[in-house]
Chains A and B, each alone.
Chain A
């Protein structure tokens, strides 16, 4: 039942928010997001670390087809539920110094987005998952296209068509899987994800189902070469929308890989997993190299995000316990870091009206607080030990390295390149001589600090004591690994 509340509460709150006019909607949205965070925290604390689905909710939806509205939280969902709950209030808070036209619609869309994301991460039914996967696109599309930058219309349109196009392949695969399941409870078939796990598909079918899912998720993450929508969309979207996109939405893709591809088509992964890892590793290196050359802060962070998500995908496809654990922790960590980075870029933009690195510089002189927070977020992003990025990336790299030494080595460049482009950005924007634009740069205001303080706290918490997160995911991951092992053997 609690899961249902997680999904429905933001949606209901958003609908009510539409009735409110003016700036009060912002405070109300923040309140609603905090309540949702409390719910998510309650789920996190109340979660018993084992492989079972908890807080489950199950209700017949289309009875004659055996499609059920069933949702619940297991170890794999849990961190993402937490991430969604955690980031949304800070994303809302980050807008307290901005004013957007038609604020109630703006914040309502953000809460709708949150509802859909919660739905994606908790759905236990294939079609329910698909529904939320697509539904999440609509609010983010309107957020980006209504409040975005100059070039927003074609850019967001490309984003929308591209991602929907990918998901349609997933729909085909889901319908196919659905028709392979046995009759259950009087319905002709079943669309429960666990029933998909028990299918014995032929290797040929696994091959194409793998690609149908992979294209959908690869576009969402994005993995090379499906990334072309991403940098432009990130740059053109208003920063809160970019945070939602990079912080939470791209995790839908990684989550999908773990939830669907690995357990449903183990033979497909065996046949094509290496290809997927190679694509991911290309993305890691390619994204990093482009990031090094960027002048625009937002675009730089966008490419860094593209590079980081490649590592997560590679870790998942390595099919090792460490790789999967790493991917889960890194999803949480990356969400926190990237939201922090985009927020800092936005703070700088709001004061100087530019995101071009060569027009910035010398900001540190007047801004002790900003410098410290920027540094913390940055160190998290470059995976310095004792920060959150280190835990995730170390586990991921370990996973990829176990899978294949050379690929592991190539993926390891992410840490070196990451340090290069991140420190370069820090140096160009914060150090050096102040330019005309940065001369009277004011330090963080109260609400801005309140966004960064909890995020910085999370950076260290995950970095210093990751066990509190690893232990909840472990049983589910171990179970999944065991599962993949046995299915793959039984199919041969």
Chain B
């Protein structure tokens, strides 16, 4: 609970810091705030508490998820030094909003009550709508924000409707109350219950961009400033999956037979839609958007095959995915800034295309290596964290005997290799006019840490286990 309080206070503090003449203090302050929140997050380690009249839970699992979210935010913020160079930008506000949005994410991770879930989702989403549109003079950013807002509002509405129906059926907003109803219904489960569950699921699946609710993702990810795309594709996704995991494992574990087929079909759809479409992209950023859809698919495998391993699998996968994604976007930020050839075609910004990476590794071995490791991890090649993430997911499916889902996932990971390797090929084997890119030391540390984390978890995946 402490992180929530602290982050809210820090957010307000940041807004006031914005009045200072010197902007240089903002970035270190934000990083410090995030570090403090990350540290206090672990105060309740190995204890389980209910806060706010039993509406919010902290246990080891929720703390681990919170740590992933805060850690990812720390890395994203650390990559944001380019903000300072833009005179017209309002970094204080963006950092403030970022911290506020984390409050929402943490509520989604630990909610004990559907109302809390709704509040969390809304805090996170509204912040995201704003951040997506924060590149005010860019038409695509505006378009993305509007799209995201309209679609998001609609999805939230459906979710709220679902909650209301669930309340009607069960007479309770709490997870425990719904569970009690689902496990031991007086006169059979009512139709309201099923419809409510489905609508609630749709709302959340929209947030994590699962097919067929994914259509907003490419445009929004592409239009948003790259930094916030990185934030969205890691923090929002992790929080969304933490919420889905809580919801399904705590309240609806008893009616697994009802929802698993639906979820399995959605999983397969997501995997196919994400991976196949990613192959046809010419813009790296759009490819990453579809890749994020496909990773939602892999994460969903763990939910569709809910079991003993699911917790472990989702935690590991979110961590591996977040770290690799942030490193990839970090490199993209640098490359795109250097290119700076703001020619926008129907396929996106040319400085964010695959061609922009041509010959990158020759002049910038560090950037090339960081990008390669992150692509290998996203593709699930052994010795990277991504491999074990996929491994855990596949194991859950086998444990439940969902071999067909596994086959789809395996075929799609083979497809995934194709588009992730396009970047590697461009960087190492193609000739390009890339000059050495100056990378600030701190920026370098972030990339190095992300790379080491990816390789480290790939060699010793056992490090994370037994925590929760």
Please indicate the chain A residues that have their CB under 8 angstroms from the CB of B413 in the complex.
168
> Cβ of B308: which chain A residues have Cβ within 8 Å of it?
188
Contacts of B349-397 to chain A: CB distance below 8 A: 376, 381-383, 387, 391, 394-395
Chain B residues with Cβ below 8 Å from A172 are 394, 398, 403, 406-407, 410
Q: Chain B: how many interface residues by the 8 Å CB criterion?
A: 31
Are the CB atoms of B414 and A157 closer together than 8 Å? no
CB of B31 closer than 8 Å to a CB of A? no
Which residues 387-425 of B have a CB within 8 angstroms of A?
387, 391, 394-395, 398-399, 403, 406-407, 410-411, 413-414, 417-418, 421, 425
Distance of B390 from chain A, by nearest CB (Å) = 9
In the complex, the answer to whether A176 meets B398 with C-beta atoms within 8 Å is yes
In the complex, whether A146 has a CB less than 8 A from a CB of chain B is yes
The answer to whether B425 and A153 touch across the interface, beta carbons within 8 angstroms, is: yes
CA distance A146 to B430 in the complex (A): 9
* B32 at interface, CB cutoff 8 A: no
How far is the CB of A202 from the nearest CB of chain B, in Å?
Answer: 14
CA distance A320 to B27 in the complex (A): 70
Q: From A67, which residue of chain B is reached at the shortest CB distance?
A: B462
Which B residues are CB-close (under 8 A) to A160? 417, 421
Judged by a CB distance under 8 angstroms, whether A62 is at the interface is: yes
Would you call B428 an interface residue if the criterion is a C-beta within 8 Å of the partner chain's C-beta atoms?
Answer: yes
Name which residue of chain A comes closest to B460, CB basis. A61
Contact check: which of B399, B411, B430, B462 meets A62 at CB < 8 Å? B462
A65 to B309 CA separation, bound complex (whole angstroms): 10
> What separation, in Å, do the CA atoms of A160 and B398 have in the docked complex?
26
Residue of chain B at shortest CB distance from A162: B414
> How distant is the Cα of A157 from the Cα of B430 in the complex, in angstroms?
13
Kindly list chain B residues whose C-beta atoms are within 8 Å of the C-beta of A164: 381, 414, 417
Q: Tell me if B465 is interfacial: C-beta within 8 Å of chain A.
A: yes
Q: Which of A121-151 contact B (CB under 8 A)?
A: 127, 130-132, 134-135, 137-138, 142, 145-146
Contacts of B312 in A (CB 8 A): 64
| Interface of chain B, main secondary structure | helix
- Contacting A145 at CB < 8 Å: which of B376, B403, B406, B425? B425
Q: Which residues of A have CB within 8 Å of B411? A: 168
Q: Does B461 contact A (CB under 8 A)?
A: yes
Contacts of A168 in B (CB 8 A): 410-411, 413-414
Query: What residues of chain A lie closer than 8 Å to B403, measured between beta carbons?
Result: 172, 176
Residues B398 and A62 in contact, CB atoms below 8 Å apart: no
Cα distance A484–B429 in the bound complex, in angstroms: 47
Question: How far, in angstroms, from A161 to B418 measured CA to CA in the complex?
Answer: 7
Q: Within 8 Å CB of B429, what residues of A?
A: 145-146, 152-153
Within 8 A of B (CB), among A63-95: 63-65
Given the known interface contacts A62-B462, A131-B383, the answer about A145 and B414 at a Cβ–Cβ threshold of 8 Å is no
The residue in chain A whose Cβ has the minimal distance to the Cβ of B365 is A105
Report yes or no: A64 in contact with B382, Cβ–Cβ below 8 A. no
Nearest-Cβ distance from residue A474 to partner chain B, whole angstroms: 33
Q: Residues of A within 8 Å of B, CB-based: how many?
A: 33
Binary interface encoding of chain B residues 418-456 relative to chain A, with 1 for a CB under 8 A from any of its CBs, else 0: 100100010011100000000000000000000000000
Task: Check if A179 is an interface residue, CB within 8 A of chain B.
Answer: yes
In-complex Cβ contact of B394 among A61, A131, A135, A171 (8 A) = A171
Give CA–CA (A142, B373) in the complex, Å: 13
Q: Does A467 make an interface contact (CB < 8 A)?
A: no
**CB < 8 Å: which of B398, B414, B430 contacts A165?**
B414
Kindly identify which residue among B382, B395, B398, B465 contacts A131, using a CB–CB cutoff of 8 Å.
B382
Q: Is B466 an interface residue (CB 8 A)?
A: yes
Q: Is A60 an interface residue (CB 8 A)?
A: yes
Residues of chain B within 8 A (CB-CB) of A145 are 425, 428-429
A169 interface residue per 8 A CB criterion: yes
In the assembled complex, A20 has its CB within 8 A of some CB on chain B: no
Whether a CB of chain B sits under 8 angstroms from the CB of A372 is: no
Contacts of A176 in B (CB 8 A): 398, 403
Contact A175 B394 (CB under 8 A): yes
Return the chain B residue nearest A130 by Cβ: B382
Q: Mark A192-217, 1 if CB is under 8 A from B, else 0.
A: 00000000000000000000000000
Complex Cα gap A142–B381 (Å):
14
Q: How far is the CB of B410 from chain A (nearest CB, A)?
A: 5
Closest to A146 in B: B428
Cα A136 to Cα B267 with chains together (Å): 31
Q: Mark A36-68, 1 if CB is under 8 A from B, else 0.
A: 000000000000000000000000111111000
Residues of A within 8 A of B465 (CB): 62-64
User: In this complex, what residue of A is CB-closest to B428?
Assistant: A146
CB pair A134–B382 under 8 Å, yes or no, is yes
User: In the complex, which residues of chain A have a beta carbon less than 8 angstroms from the beta carbon of B391?
Assistant: 127, 171, 175
Contact B462 A60 (CB under 8 A): yes
Which A residue's beta carbon lies closest to that of B407?
Answer: A172
Which listed residue (B407, B414, B466) contacts A64, Cβ 8 A?
B466
Q: A62–B395 contact, CB under 8 A?
A: no
Query: Hey, which chain A residues are within 8 Å of B398, CB to CB?
Result: 172, 175-176, 178-179
Docked complex Cα distance between A441 and B394 (Å): 58
How far, in angstroms, from A132 to B462 measured CA to CA in the complex? Answer: 17
Q: Give the CA-CA distance A169 to B407 in the complex, in Å.
A: 9
Contacting pair A179 B376 (CB below 8 A): no
Per-residue interface assignment for chain B, residues 242 to 260, with 1 indicating a CB less than 8 Å from any chain A CB and 0 otherwise: 0000000000000000000
Min C-beta distance of B13 to chain A, whole Å: 41
| Chain B min CB distance to A87 (Å) | 23
How far apart are B408's CB and chain A's nearest CB, in angstroms?
11
Residues of A within 8 A of B (CB): 60-65, 127, 130-132, 134-135, 137-138, 142, 145-146, 152-153, 157, 160-161, 164-165, 168-169, 171-172, 175-176, 178-179, 188
6 smallest CB-CB distances across A and B, nearest first, come from: A134-B382, A62-B462, A131-B382, A165-B414, A168-B410, A64-B465
Pick 30 A–B contacts, CB within 8 A, sort by A.
A62-B465, A63-B465, A64-B466, A65-B395, A127-B391, A131-B383, A131-B387, A132-B382, A138-B376, A138-B381, A142-B428, A145-B428, A152-B429, A153-B425, A157-B425, A160-B421, A161-B417, A164-B417, A168-B411, A168-B413, A168-B414, A171-B410, A172-B394, A172-B398, A175-B394, A175-B395, A175-B398, A178-B395, A179-B395, A188-B308
